[in-house]
Chains A and B, each alone.
Chain A
């Protein structure tokens, strides 16, 4: 039995991960630790687990932790767990700076524990099929990718630059950035970005933008990470990729398995996703890596490379010039 604890539920994905953990027969979800007592107790009650006020105390009781705190707190919690020889599944983006992410990777390596970045989109059946078709060479060599990860403005700490490390670009660049790297086996070498705040003037962070990336292997891509979905839109957002190859093209709209709901009280049409639970796939992969002592499927390095793209995009937008990657050589 692998004992797991959740460190902070500041990020709403904590719920999906808790559910994923409780689905597994070889996992005991021990509890939730959170510095916010009200938030932690509510979460504990919902999942019928223990609320433990102290992170240190929960870490002592488990083999592995899932970190779903605010982005800027990932580093401290990861270091705390790694030093106690506990494996870490860390919510994306892995951190808010290259130095912090590198410190997390180093700490886990030195302590001989696993560090996985939470990129559940890799577990989407549609994406897995894309990967298979590309690997089989069916679309030839990849030339370009046109991606989006639209979302709704999440509010709360997500729009606090200190806690989140940025706005929409920080929040929504990393998922598709990771899918692109994993799919192509190429690395980002240059980014140009136009970033702005147009949808929510009251925010202190960006809320929209478009990134243009150049990769090794001669591949080029764009990515729209905007919080451009309003409350009237039928769904929270999307993950889409158009993959252009020398022999064919793939269109993926990851969450386009939906029911249309028209309810008079909601005053809007809604799309209800009925596809696979990618969070559960992510959690199972992390637990399997611990159980079988195999390398994690999505490494800390993967998390760092994806986050670095977002950081490069901010630099580019500031200078109105392309920025070379990696930022730290």
Chain B
């Protein structure tokens, strides 16, 4: 039985906990949060220990895996501490808030006994896996233009840390780093970045960015990230090449809609679209990580992959401030 301790009790912590629970031979054994409340509720639900101190969970010798689901600026310290205990570590994206921090994590990963993976979960979404396969098989020919979009309403995290741009890095480091990662997975090494956005430029409770990445292969990628939508969530991707075009808007693909009549109320009911899956992509991701641990495999997302996604994000933030393109080394 592999025992998991989860740092944090927010949305991602709960998502990961339910993924671990779905996998045979894995048990969520502990949660840690600096604030009680949610901690007690989730610990009870999973019959797990509740720590109010991160270090105590990290040093719990009964645990095999530490899953870091904390606000971005806390990733480095807790990841490095957890790796030092010899445990396997899963860290939510982004790997760290700064490149310096990320390089320290890399050092710790290189010296560690345990496996390490960062939660760039899009690599486990079937539609993006098929997209990569089509690119790799040459169905699109030479790729010229990639356009992606990830748009949502502004999230409200604990103490509103999402809104604290300096902490979260805004929509660029928290949201569209997903797109940066899978674009790197598709197209290889990024060469330069030009970006425009609201980072540090607005008093409004929103963020918005338009990022252009030029790859060494020549691909021009355009990434839209929004926390400026009044409501909803949507994802789009379109890759255009000399021989083919592939596009997807996964949240618009609903094989099912359920329209229920409300006998109590005379007004129209609400139509709820659904896209049922055999397994959540987060579970697929965690299952892969567990497989890497048990069978000593290299995770699909390496620390270097996570660093390259972060490099694009940091270059985008720098470009927004300077108004100039930023080269990636």
What residues of B have a CB within 8 angstroms of the CB of A221 in the complex? 210
Would you call A222 and B240 a contact (CB within 8 A)?
A: no
Verify if B162 is at the interface (C-beta below 8 Å from A).
no
Residues of B within 8 A of A209 (CB): 220
Contact partner, B224, options A194, A228, A233, A242, Cβ 8 Å: A242
Q: In the bound complex, do residue A143 and residue B208 qualify as a contact, i.e. CB atoms below 8 Å apart?
A: yes
- Select one of B149, B220, B241 contacting A196, CB under 8 A: B220
**B141: min CB distance to chain A, Å:** 8
Query: What is the minimal beta-carbon distance from A251 to any residue of chain B, in angstroms?
Result: 9
- Residues of chain B from 204 to 254 with CB closer than 8 A to chain A in the complex: 204, 206, 208, 210, 212, 214, 218-220, 222, 224, 226, 228-230, 240-245
Query: What 1/0 flags go to A23-35 for Cβ under 8 Å of B?
Result: 0000000000000
Q: Are A222 and B222 in contact (CB under 8 A)?
A: yes
The distance in angstroms between the C-alpha atoms of A201 and B244, with both chains bound, is 15
Interchain CB contact under 8 A, B196 and A248: no
Min C-beta distance of B32 to chain A, whole Å? 38
Does the CB pair B196–A212 fall under 8 Å?
yes
Assess the A199–B240 pair: CB atoms within 8 A. Answer: yes
- What is the bound-complex CA distance between A222 and B195, given in angstroms? 10
- Check B243 against A230 for contact (C-beta < 8 Å): yes
Residues of A within 8 A of B126 (CB): none
A144 at the interface (CB under 8 A from B): yes
Docked-complex contact B220 and A246, CB < 8 angstroms: no
Interface of B is mostly: strand
Interface residues of A in 201-247 (CB under 8 A from B): 201, 207-210, 212, 214, 218, 220-222, 224, 226, 228-230, 232-233, 242, 244, 246-247
Tell me whether B194 and A212 are in contact (CB under 8 A): yes
Which residue in chain A gives the minimum CB-CB distance to B238?
Answer: A228
Residue B147 is within 8 A (CB to CB) of chain A in the complex: yes
A210 touching B145 in the complex, CB below 8 Å, given contacts A143-B208, A222-B212: yes
Shortest C-beta distance, A152 to chain B (Å), equals: 11
Task: Determine the distance from Cα of A221 to Cα of B210 in the docked complex, in whole angstroms.
Answer: 8
Residue in A closest to B192 when the chains form the complex, CB atoms: A320
Question: Closest residue of chain A to B224, judged by CB?
Answer: A146
Let me know if B143 is at the binding interface, CB within 8 A.
Answer: yes
In the assembled complex, which residues on chain B have CB atoms less than 8 Å from the CB atom of A322?
194, 323-325
Q: Nearest Cβ in chain A — how far from B108, in angstroms?
A: 36
Contact of A228 among B145, B192, B204 (CB under 8 A): B145
Interface size of A by CB at 8 A reads: 38
A152 to B329, CA, bound (A): 35
Decide: A321 near B325, CB < 8 A? Known: A192-B194, A214-B196.
yes
A122 within 8 A of B: no
B145, A224: Cβ atoms under 8 Å? yes
Which B residue sits closest to A197, measured CB to CB? B144
Q: Mark A123-155, 1 if CB is under 8 A from B, else 0.
A: 000000000000000000001101010000000
A249 interface residue (CB < 8 Å to B): yes
Picked from B144, B196, B219, B324, the residue with its CB within 8 Å of the CB of A222 is B196
In whole Å, how far is B151's beta carbon from the nearest beta carbon of chain A?
8
Structural contact, A198 and B241, CB atoms closer than 8 A: yes
Q: Which of A220, A222, A246, A320 contacts B325 (CB 8 A)?
A: A320
Return 14 A-B CB contacts under 8 Å, by A number: A144-B196, A144-B228, A192-B212, A192-B325, A198-B142, A208-B144, A208-B145, A208-B220, A214-B196, A220-B196, A228-B240, A230-B244, A244-B208, A244-B228
Residues of A at the B interface (CB closer than 8 Å) are: 143-144, 146, 148, 190, 192, 194, 196, 198-201, 207-210, 212, 214, 218, 220-222, 224, 226, 228-230, 232-233, 242, 244, 246-249, 320-322
4 shortest A-B CB distances, which residue pairs?
A198-B144, A228-B240, A220-B196, A208-B144
Query: Which B residues contact A (CB, under 8 angstroms)?
Result: 142-145, 147, 149, 192, 194-198, 201-202, 204, 206, 208, 210, 212, 214, 218-220, 222, 224, 226, 228-230, 240-245, 323-325
